[in-house]
Structure 1
């Protein structure tokens, strides 16, 4: 006659199940895809506050930063693959340890400069074509309840916040292939972020910028200066963002009336 398991045995089995579920989830997150929420407007309009996506961690290989808390016992990168210009990449900030998401602009050996809001890549201006106006409501956005910055000044709560939009076309670095994506403008500045020195990307490093060009702390700002990113070493790359899975404009996930259903499974340009 079969014996029923006691209460203690049931608790042990539950603990085992939870343990192995956490192990499997940890392996999946470390080796394949990591979930990521967009907390700021630095990548508008390609990515909006409240977008949820999975980062492809297989895209560029693995480093110690592929593991939570940088615990992977890896030196350099394993199964390394070179990213392309125009990729939207999640990386670890070399100083603060925070996760950032930006667009890759400069590969090792490239020169990058900003002139009047245009990228000068290896001495050649990256083309931009005007593409109308990006509009959104001036209201608190996401769990942090930040207000957007507007090109058309102070519009008041509930007003229409506007930014000029252009389509920028960047050579990917693979043959004659290019990558086109939208960039936004809020104001024209005599210095940073619209005008900069000429940066030379060192070997084994990358140069990143946000698509919302006047509201992004990125490689145009040196590390330790105004929250800048500077040049990012290859080992700090975590993965590539290819598609938005889910999106919510509200401060809470269960506020279903704030879900942006048109952005579910939206491809990232």
Structure 2
């Protein structure tokens, strides 16, 4: 009888430990930091496919999207704090419910337009200065096997893929690299967007490979993003792998471990 009682006590303690661990992890993920893996090349070269980062959920306060599957039982934002122009932000897509990561360009009341591939913010073109080329290997990237677009296309498998790189500077001096292959089509020459109250305008740094606020939701873009859809700010890359699996250690990018997101 004593052995059975001890066995029951052992099972109970194990279950209790698992429940505590799950509860602590849920609180950590909901209130503090959420892990996020980069599945696409829309933020190259700031973020590469296979980067793994933690999103700071304290940065902007909390909304219903702070909980998994949007289950937090309140509307609006608690402990709200305004994001800054230039932040790299994870947000919930207003229609399809996916988590997206882009750079915040337009605040409420701003006007934003693309003219010949350059951002015109509140009537002023954002300065861009040449910063050499972004070079990568033309090959399937990550678990989704995405192949990059190249300015020097066509490029065979294993060849050198080149994209022109510019440093773009926001009012206030925040600079970051952007990639742009060409200046044709709607994405590089848009109408003027006026950001409505309580919403934000986002762009990907890889300007020719990003479904962002330039595109309406009906065609897969995000349009203007409501404030309550913001999940948090990307602050630091913790780990990075160029392979299809995290277990392919020979594809790890050690130079990106613990790298700050600018």
TM-score, shorter chain, exceeding 0.5? yes
For 1:81 and 1:203, the matched residues in 2 are separated by 15
What's the CA shift for 1:3?
A: 8.1
Counterpart of 2:188 in 1: which secondary structure? coil
**2:156 alignment partner in structure 1:** 156
Q: Which TM-score applies when normalising by structure 1?
A: 0.95
SS of residue in 2 equivalent to 1:103: strand
1:241 alignment counterpart? 234
Aligned position for 2:143: 143
- Calculate the aligned-residue CA RMSD, in Å: 1.2
Partner of 2:181: 186
For residues 180-236 of structure 1, give each alpha carbon's deviation from its aligned partner in whole angstroms, at most 9, with x where no partner exists.
0000012221x32101000000000000000000000000001112x1100000000
Name the SS for the 2:130 alignment partner.
strand
SS in 2 for 1:30: helix
Partner SS state of residue 193, structure 1: helix
- Count of paired positions: 261
Q: Who is 1:201 aligned against? A: 195
Partner of residue 232 from structure 1, selected from 201, 212, 225: 225
Cross-structure match for 1:260: 253
Q: Deviations over 1:219-267 (max 9, x none)?
A: 0001112x11000000000000011110000001011100000000111
Please identify runs of 4+ aligned residues in structure 1 that moved more than 2 A: 2-6
Cα pair 2:90 2:101 within 8 Å, conserved: yes
In structure 1, C-alpha distance between the alignment counterparts of 2:147 and 2:183, rounded to whole Å: 20
In structure 1, C-alpha distance between the alignment counterparts of 2:154 and 2:243, rounded to whole Å: 22
- Any conservation in 1 of the 2:41–2:48 contact (CA below 8 Å)? yes
TM-score (norm: length of structure 2)? 0.97
Deviates more, 1:3-12 or 1:257-266: 3-12
Contact 2:90–2:234 at 8 Å: present in 1 too? Answer: yes
SS at match of 1:6: helix
1:199, 1:126 → 2: CA distance?
16
Offset of residue 68 of structure 1: 0.2
Give the drift of 1:5: 4.7
Aligned to 1:213: 207
Unaligned runs of 5+ in 2: none
CA distance in 2, matches of 1:21, 1:91: 27
* Higher alpha-carbon deviation: 12-21 or 86-95: 12-21
What is the CA-CA distance between 1:42 and the residue it aligns to? 0.1
Match of 2:21 in 1: 21
Structure with the higher helix share, 1 or 2? 2
Which residue is equivalent to 1:112? 112
**Aligned residue number for residue 48 of structure 1:** 48
Structure 1 residue matching 2:119: 3-state secondary structure: strand
Give 3-state SS (helix, strand or coil) of 2:78's partner. coil
Q: For 1:97 and 1:199, how far apart are their aligned partners in 2?
A: 23
Asked whether the equivalents of residues 117 and 182 of structure 2 are also in contact (C-alpha less than 8 Å), the reply is: no
Alignment of 1:38-187 (within 5 A): 38-171=38-171, 177-187=172-182
